[in-house]
Chains A and B, each alone.
Chain A
């Protein structure tokens, strides 16, 4: 069975490792979404998802560096099985021919989801350093949301058309 996170006894090293894993999962999901968009000839959304993957990788690397400065090469005790879709966008957020706006909205939803994860975990945390880290991560999610919102604001207004307006209806064979 998938192990659960014991927030009450989470050490700073474990908390940093979890944060790295969360970023890794999100990075992989964005890469998968980008590949799906390539596959379905949706290049603008693919480009945006790739950008998000790079951002998640960068953030993950920063956290990993911090972890190694503090704890060196001490063996990791937390696993990917403990997290599921914390900051990674949900699989069903992707659609063929999605617009950049839809892609950004999917990313925004995942940042909101990650923020909710850190907020929900805070009351259970006992270690002051872990709490400080989670508060920092929570606040960063708000910053990320603001960044995505800023990108969204740069987009031209919606055409008002939906996929149904220009994608051929699937036909029977």
Chain B
């Protein structure tokens, strides 16, 4: 692991030009990510960035890190495999609310219970933007879209409560309304030793509603540190998380003050235990050969 070299945000920016709609919140997210990675200082070749499918899932291509734009909803299983195969990599996963909480919703619980050291950034825009504006799992009830022409009858998934309830050790929310805060939050998430989740309210300029654009988000945003929230208090975090969709709380909801060992660390420990007194690989065959 190299640590002495100083990196700048531009070192993480690839030559590929984003094709998001101009004004899309994801431009800010990738910028915040460059800044966070520069602050962390791991060289791009030590970072693996895994995503699913959707507008936001294009993000690995815009970085110089190793990237894998996988299949819909499957960013997390692949990210877990990569982390377990090469624990020295800094593994990031990203995607949209549809990718993470609809088709890929079942994977989050297992990543959280295993506590693998991965940072998962969800760019939550409450709509399926890439496929032209269908209802997504975080769309508000009553929302009119091409797949809910008379208004949605479903309650939205609350991503913050979802991950808090499963026991995630680090849960935060950010938004392009506060770029410096977003970069700092992503950096803190990456530094957390274990699974970390950042929900970014990232407006869709093409299919998003007026209230979900930057001005609307600014009007309902509130900084968690400014209101005196203690990020070590999980129950207080769950209480605040209930306001998802009504208020935009920015910052760290919950950060386990005593992070438990990660799955990857436990595996290495188990491997070390089991390998004591074990035959070297090249002699395993001897066990099956009669002499």
Give chain B residues whose Cβ lies under 8 Å from the Cβ of A1: 39, 184, 187-188
Contact indicator B183/A84 (Cβ below 8 Å): yes
Contact indicator A92/B214 (Cβ below 8 Å): yes
Is B155 an interface residue, CB under 8 A from the partner? no
What separation, in Å, do the CA atoms of A32 and B132 have in the docked complex?
Answer: 24
Interface size class, chain B: 35 or more
Is B230 an interface residue, CB under 8 A from the partner? no
Give chain A residues whose Cβ lies under 8 Å from the Cβ of B38: 80-81
Contact indicator B133/A170 (Cβ below 8 Å): yes
Contact with A along B251-262 (1 / 0, CB 8 A): 000000000000
Is B192 an interface residue, CB under 8 A from the partner? no
Stretch of A8-16, A34-42, A66-74, A141-149 lying at the B interface? A34-42
| Contact residues, A143-173 vs B (CB, 8 A) | 170-173
Known contacts being A95-B23, A170-B132, is A2 close to B180, with CB within 8 Å? yes
Contact indicator A173/B39 (Cβ below 8 Å): no
| Contact residues, A1-39 vs B (CB, 8 A) | 1-2, 28, 32-33, 35-37, 39
**Which listed residue (B22, B27, B176) contacts A40, Cβ 8 A?**
B22
Q: How far is the CB of A155 from chain B (nearest CB, A)?
A: 20
Q: How far is the CB of B8 from chain A (nearest CB, A)?
A: 6
Is B236 an interface residue, CB under 8 A from the partner? no
CB-CB nearest in chain A for B133: A170
CB-CB nearest in chain A for B6: A79
Q: How far is the CB of A24 from chain B (nearest CB, A)?
A: 10
**Which listed residue (B131, B134, B213) contacts A92, Cβ 8 A?**
B213
Contact indicator B176/A95 (Cβ below 8 Å): no
Contact indicator B39/A81 (Cβ below 8 Å): yes
- Count how many chain A residues have C-beta atoms less than 8 Å from C-beta atoms of the other chain: 28
Contact indicator A95/B35 (Cβ below 8 Å): no
Contact indicator B179/A95 (Cβ below 8 Å): no
What separation, in Å, do the CA atoms of A126 and B180 have in the docked complex?
Answer: 25
What separation, in Å, do the CA atoms of A33 and B184 have in the docked complex?
Answer: 24
Secondary structure at chain B's binding surface: helix, strand, loop or mixed?
Answer: loop
Is B203 an interface residue, CB under 8 A from the partner? yes
Q: How far is the CB of B218 from chain A (nearest CB, A)?
A: 10
**Which listed residue (B19, B27, B206, B214) contacts A32, Cβ 8 A?**
B27
Is B14 an interface residue, CB under 8 A from the partner? no
Q: How far is the CB of A107 from chain B (nearest CB, A)?
A: 14
CB-CB nearest in chain A for B29: A91
Contact indicator B180/A172 (Cβ below 8 Å): no
CB-CB nearest in chain B for A3: B39
**Which listed residue (A80, A91, A95, A171) contacts B27, Cβ 8 A?**
A91
Known contacts being A1-B39, A1-B184, A172-B147, is A91 close to B23, with CB within 8 Å? yes
Is B21 an interface residue, CB under 8 A from the partner? yes
What separation, in Å, do the CA atoms of A49 and B131 have in the docked complex?
Answer: 30
What separation, in Å, do the CA atoms of A116 and B9 have in the docked complex?
Answer: 25
Known contacts being A81-B38, A84-B183, A92-B205, is A98 close to B22, with CB within 8 Å? yes
CB-CB nearest in chain A for B191: A1
**Which listed residue (A81, A90, A91, A173) contacts B132, Cβ 8 A?**
A173
What separation, in Å, do the CA atoms of A79 and B180 have in the docked complex?
Answer: 14
Give chain A residues whose Cβ lies under 8 Å from the Cβ of B188: 1
Chain A CB within 10 A, most for which of B17, B25, B31, B134 = B31
Contact indicator B31/A95 (Cβ below 8 Å): no
Give me 5 A-to-B residue pairs in the complex whose CB atoms sit less than 8 angstroms apart, sorted by A's number: A2-B184, A81-B9, A81-B39, A81-B183, A92-B23
Q: Which 9 A-B pairs have the closest CB atoms?
A: A172-B146, A94-B22, A84-B180, A36-B22, A91-B27, A92-B214, A91-B28, A92-B23, A35-B17
Q: A91-B27, A92-B213, A170-B133 are in contact. List 20 more A-B contacts (CB 8 A).
A: A1-B187, A1-B188, A2-B39, A2-B180, A2-B184, A28-B10, A32-B27, A36-B18, A80-B9, A80-B38, A81-B35, A81-B38, A84-B183, A92-B28, A92-B203, A93-B23, A95-B23, A96-B22, A98-B22, A172-B146
